[in-house]
A and B are shown apart, each in its own frame.
Chain A
Amino acid sequence: MSEIAPKKQVETPTKSISIEPLTIDMFLNLKAGTIGRTVSTKSEANTSSKFLFWLGKSQEAQGADTSLEIGNIVAARSDDKDEVTFGTIVEMRSYSDVDSFIADYLSHNFGDATIEVPTDVSEVVVVTCNVMRNLSLKTKPIGRSQVFFPSEVGIRYAYGIVDNAGLPIFTGAEIPIGVFQNGDGTVANVAVDEDFVLGPEGAHLNVSGISGLASKTSAVQFILKSLQTHTKKSLAVVMFNVKSRDLLYIDQPNPRAETDVWSAAAYSKLSIPLEPFSGAEFFAPADPNDPNSTQSLRTLQTTRFQWDLQLIKNDIPTLFDVDDWDDKAEGVWYRIREQIETGSLITYANMISWIEKTTREANEKSQQWIYGQHIATWNKMAGRLRSFPKSYKGLIASAGKGSDIPWKQLKGGSVYVVDIQMLADRAKKLVFGRAVRELSDLMESQDKKLDAVVVFVDELNKFAPSGNVRTPLKSRLVDITARGRSMGLILVGAEQFASSVEKEIVENCSTYLFGRTEANELRAANYAALSDELKTKLMMLPQGSLLAKFAKFPQPIFVKFPYPPCLPGDQYKTAGF
């Protein structure tokens, strides 16, 4: 049996040891037998990026122990046993030797559908695979080969997780994102490279899929737990709860995960503790009717936040409608801001009173212009500013001292959950935008204690919609995904439709997960690289499965992940807490 590469020298602190490359057959599941044979024809060539094989009898047989489907990985061993080429199945076609519909019609005694013929028409299933990797790492078309299922190490080699000696080749820690189950039942851990999730090589993660069916939140919770467990970096996590109780009980255990045998086994196999985010801290806007309470749906400990004028002053321009914020409004705001900077306006109510007093005095003097701006603009500004405490309910403290989320207290292992589900869209954007700014400042400061902060937000499309309209928040998010990997600010976004999120943000994510996706969405450019059959599978993907694209994976992979380690918010009551 031939070896696949020269021995590799590995330096250890004490001595140099030789790492033996695995033998060719160790990359194959030989016990499952040969599943087919590569084939090319005059019109269908095998190339360096694609190969075809026909399915052997054992695979065609009803009740076969193994079964192939789209997304499975196969390993083609050359007849000289010198090479193994791994491929992922992107298409399966069943061909018969019936030349035309009319031929089959004739074969059934001129249209008798019930007729039973003595010989079945010859049929063959031809499988198309996209080439993932080969053992020689050479770019070349496949030769005549027998096709097998790969072994577990074969699968991990195919995905570029290990080298030909079976050793990890990531530069950062392996971050498991789930398990891959092949047609022969072989299960392999699927991991991404920490350096491509948290930086500096690449960063950011995006999940898309139909609400309620794609398990986006569950997947992210599982992956965040995995990140927390396996990262070698000092990592904090900030999550935004944008709807319902989704993330409000992540500090509580998930009985379903604990009792589900497969889930428990998956956590064990992936070396991730099946534990909730126990130290998580929860924040929510203050309840305007109760100074000691929040507006959160969470019934357990939650910390209120509310911004006084000093905290909110930099954000006030962002509270306006784009149409309202013009040069004239900016001129008025300049004067108000000047007044705040002098220290004479302490509270939001002070600011409103000062504006009202200024306009009243101008009126009394029949003065049309105040500090170079027309009185009508001042009146309009006053009207808008008066409305903000109501429209940004609970976020703006008219009087008294506000309190912000303690961003500077974030440390390695911290988990913050900011509940903004009760807010209107504009208010959600305000909270999220402020948080991103604060976190950017934190991660850019000289004395930062963290290597990375992961910010998870669902419905990313609301904060950074696709299209030509640019908002300060969208620009900031684009900027973060472009350069956040170098400063350690990592965006984990989720949305129903990837096409509804700003293209630059999606394209900057090194890890992309697709859940069940509907047909219309699959026509978008985001999915152009997927074959029609992969798209079909995406339309029917069961809960708990995702198609993962990762910068270092040669092809997308279908992964299964267990129930989340923490309690889904909507199960809080039924779980008996």
Chain B
Amino acid sequence: MNGQDTLKKAKLFIAAQGGQVAPLSISEEELNPDAQDDLTLRAEPLESMNSAYDVDYDPAKDSNCSEFRFFEDGRQRTIQIGYIHAVYSDNLVLIPVHFFVVAAVVLEREDRKLKLWKGPLIEQGIFVPKSLIPNQSLLDEFEQSGLAVVDTESSEAGVPADYYDMRRRALRRAKELRLKVEQKLIAEWRADSGAADNFLVVDGTLMNMRDERNVDRCVGVSKSFGSRYFEISKHNQIMKMRECQRSWAFRFHDEEADLRTGVRERASWYLRLREKQRGDPEFGLIRVEISKKYIGNASEYAARFSRSLLSERLPTAYPTPRWDKHLYPIRGCETYLSSIMPSIPTITAAIQG
């Protein structure tokens, strides 16, 4: 079902449930920006922390030395399009209805030109806590007619009919779904013989990936990080790194207790893509992650991938926000996904019209 059909059905669904269409002009993602940092994670050095490491990269000669050919990104958009009246514990409650769209894409570079490696994966539908919907048979009918209705019921303690909680859960479900389609796409990419022996540059952390086979050939690039994983003096060393310098590689992992389950462990390092401007210590600073299977030779991979990532800093995505940390092909992924996902004005117009 395409976006227009989903929106039409969503509108009919709200009306059929006696609800009210009332689309917001801002998405939940914009209302609640998702923080990337995770304070529960730990870091342990794999190299000496005495100083930063110079990457073997000559800006004049090595600008086209990147070994990367494939780039992945995912996007999500969750927007409240109306609400349904329901009775919960003898109280009249409002159930928010969210339209969501999640998508992922892999771009391939060939002769310096970006192209789709394969069609993107895209899913769209609505979020509601299913059990609270007043007319369950109508809910079934709409689902059978093709409307994807994703349950946002919480298994956690608390009041399931709390309006704000339901909105937060919708946002969380969107992120889960987005990660799911990203995982699915990466799994497909991994199975493609044409991509064998290549690494996939993924926008963001790899810590959310639970399938280690997917992680094996991924290089995660995080642009935001609000946490400090080393003591202050060492962290300052990272903040002081110059252009084309990387930090020591380190193990990046869950609490030791959780590690026994064999999940959430990566090799990681910081890399300064561009010289600091106006004294901003984070200007051009990214954090790179690779699979834990490379922990044994993390230095070698950190040196190798840093060199390629420095090459990817050109062309710039200036003046987009955080252009200093952007890799142009990742920006290409974002632009592509924006073009195929219904925009907020389109969603609003379709719901109101």
Q: Tell me the A residues contacting B by CB distance below 8 Å.
A: 97-100, 102-104, 106-109, 112, 115-122
Task: Provide the residues of chain B in CB contact with A108, threshold 8 Å.
Answer: 314-315
Structural contact, A106 and B316, CB atoms closer than 8 A: yes
Collect the chain B residues with CB atoms within 8 Å of residue A112's CB: 59-60
Query: B265 in the interface, Cβ–Cβ < 8 Å?
Result: no
User: Which one of B114, B312, B315 has the greatest number of beta carbons of chain A within 10 Å?
Assistant: B315
Is B124 among interface residues, defined by CB-CB distance under 8 A? no
B228 is an interface residue with CB less than 8 A from chain A: no
Q: A112–B60 Cα gap in the complex (Å)?
A: 8
User: Which of B36-44, B134-142, B190-198, B328-336 is found at the contact surface with chain A?
Assistant: B328-336
**In contact, B314 and A109 (Cβ under 8 angstroms):** yes
Instruction: Answer whether A109 and B318 are a contact pair too, CB < 8 Å, given A97-B335, A119-B109, A119-B328.
Output: no
A-B contact pairs, 11 of them (CB 8 A): A103-B315, A103-B316, A115-B63, A115-B314, A117-B314, A117-B328, A118-B311, A118-B312, A119-B109, A119-B114, A119-B332
Q: Known: A102-B318, A106-B316, A107-B316. Is A119-B60 also a contact (CB below 8 A)?
A: no
| Interface residues of chain A: helix, strand, loop or mixed (majority) | loop
Q: Interface 1/0s, chain B 75-114, versus A by CB < 8 A?
A: 0000000000000000000000000000000000100111
Across the interface, B63 reaches (CB within 8 A) one of A103, A106, A118, namely A118
- With A109-B59, A109-B60, A109-B63 already in contact, the answer to whether A118 and B113 are too (CB < 8 A) is no
Are B113 and A120 in contact, CB atoms less than 8 angstroms apart? yes
Q: Which residues of A contact B33 (CB under 8 A)?
A: none
B262 contacts chain A at the CB level, 8 A cutoff: no
- Flag if A118 contacts B314 (CB, 8 Å): yes
Q: Tell me the total A-B contact number using a CB cutoff of 8 A.
A: 64
A222 vs B281: C-alpha distance when bound (angstroms): 75
Within 8 A of A (CB), among B278-327: 311-312, 314-316, 318-320
User: What chain A residues lie within 8 Å of B112 (beta carbons)?
Assistant: 117-120
Set of chain A residues within 8 Å of B60, measured between Cβ atoms = 109, 112, 115
Closest to B71 in A: A119
Which of B59, B65, B109, B314 is packed against the most chain A CB atoms within 10 Å? B314
Q: Which residues of A contact B311 (CB under 8 A)?
A: 118
Interface residues on B, range: 20 to 34
Report how far A104 CA is from B66 CA in the complex, Å.
20
Q: Do the beta carbons of A118 and B66 come within 8 Å of each other? A: yes
Shortest 9 CB-CB distances between A and B: which pairs? A107-B315, A103-B318, A116-B64, A117-B314, A118-B66, A120-B112, A106-B316, A107-B316, A115-B63
Residues of A within 8 Å of B318, CB to CB, are 99-100, 102-103, 106-107
Chain B residues positioned under 8 Å from A122 (CB to CB):
114, 332, 335
In angstroms, Cα B317 to Cα A103, docked, is 7
Judging by beta carbons under 8 Å apart, are B319 and A103 in contact? yes
B319 engages A100 (CB within 8 Å): yes
In the docked arrangement, what's the CA distance between A121 and B319, Å? 14
**In the assembled complex, how far is the CB of residue B12 from the closest CB belonging to chain A, in whole angstroms?**
24
A103-B318, A109-B314 known; 6 new pairs, CB 8 Å cut-off, are A102-B318, A106-B316, A107-B318, A112-B60, A117-B328, A119-B113
A444 to chain B, nearest CB (A): 66
Residue of B nearest to A107 (CB): B315
Cα distance A106–B319 in the bound complex, in angstroms:
10
Return the chain B residue nearest A98 by Cβ. B315
A109 to B64, CA, bound (A): 12
* Contact across chains for B315 and A104 when beta carbons are under 8 A apart: yes
Bound-state Cα–Cα, A108 to B313, Å: 10
Cβ distance A108 to chain B, nearest Cβ, rounded Å:
7
How far does the Cβ of A80 sit from chain B's closest Cβ, in whole Å? 15
How long is the Cα–Cα vector from A320 to B124 in the complex, in angstroms? 88
Encode contact with A along B30-65: 1 for CB under 8 Å, 0 otherwise.
000000000000000000000000000001100111
Closest to A121 in B: B315
The answer to whether A117 and B64 touch across the interface, beta carbons within 8 angstroms, is yes
- Docked pose: A248 CA to B109 CA in angstroms: 65
Question: Within the complex, what minimum Cβ distance (angstroms) separates A61 from chain B?
Answer: 10
Contact A107/B314 with A115-B60, A117-B63, A119-B328 known, Cβ cut-off 8 Å: yes
Alpha-carbon gap, A99 to B59, bound state (A): 23
Q: How far is the CA of A480 from the CA of B335 in the complex (A)?
A: 62
Q: How far is it, in angstroms, between the C-alpha of A361 and the C-alpha of B320 when the chains are bound?
A: 101
Assess A119 versus B63: contact at CB under 8 Å? Given A99-B318, A109-B314.
no
The distance in angstroms between the C-alpha atoms of A104 and B328, with both chains bound, is 12
Bound Cα distance A116, B335 (Å): 23
Cα of A117 to Cα of B60 in the assembled complex, Å: 10
CA distance in complex: A108, B64 (Å): 11
Give chain A residues whose Cβ lies under 8 Å from the Cβ of B65.
118
Interface digits, B118-130 against A, CB 8 Å rule (1 contact, 0 not)?
Answer: 0000000000000
